[in-house]
Chains A and B, each alone.
Chain A
Amino acid sequence: MTTLTYEGHQVDVNPEGFLLDSSQWSPAVAEAIAEEVGVAPLTERHWKVITFCREDAARERQSPGLRRIAKLSGVDMKELYQLFPKGPGKLAARVAGLPKPTSCV
Chain B
Amino acid sequence: MITETYPETKVEKTTPAPQPITKLAIICSKGSLDMAHPGLILANAARMSGIDATLFFTFWGLDVITEKKVDHLHVATVGNPSMPIPTMVGGLPGMETLATGMMKKQMEELDIPGVREMLEILHDSGAELYACRMAMDMLKLERKDLIPQVDGVISAMDFFDKAAGAQVLFI
Contacts and interface: CB of A to CB of B under 8 A. Distances in A.
Given A67-B113, A89-B45, A81 B121 contact: no
Interface string A90-105: 1100000000000011
Contacts of B45: 89, 104
A87 interface: yes
B50 A85 contact: yes
Contacts of A90: 48-50
Contacts of B44: 104-105
Secondary structure of the A contact surface, majority rule: helix
Interface in B56-73: none
Counting contact residues on chain B (CB < 8 A from A), the size range is: 10 to 19
Interface residues of A, number: 16
A20 interface: no
Interface of B: 41, 44-45, 47-51, 111-113, 118, 121, 124-126
Given A89-B45, A105-B112, 13 more contacts: A67-B113, A76-B124, A77-B121, A81-B126, A87-B48, A88-B48, A89-B47, A89-B48, A90-B48, A104-B41, A105-B44, A105-B113, A105-B118
Interface of A: 66-67, 70, 76-78, 81, 85-91, 104-105
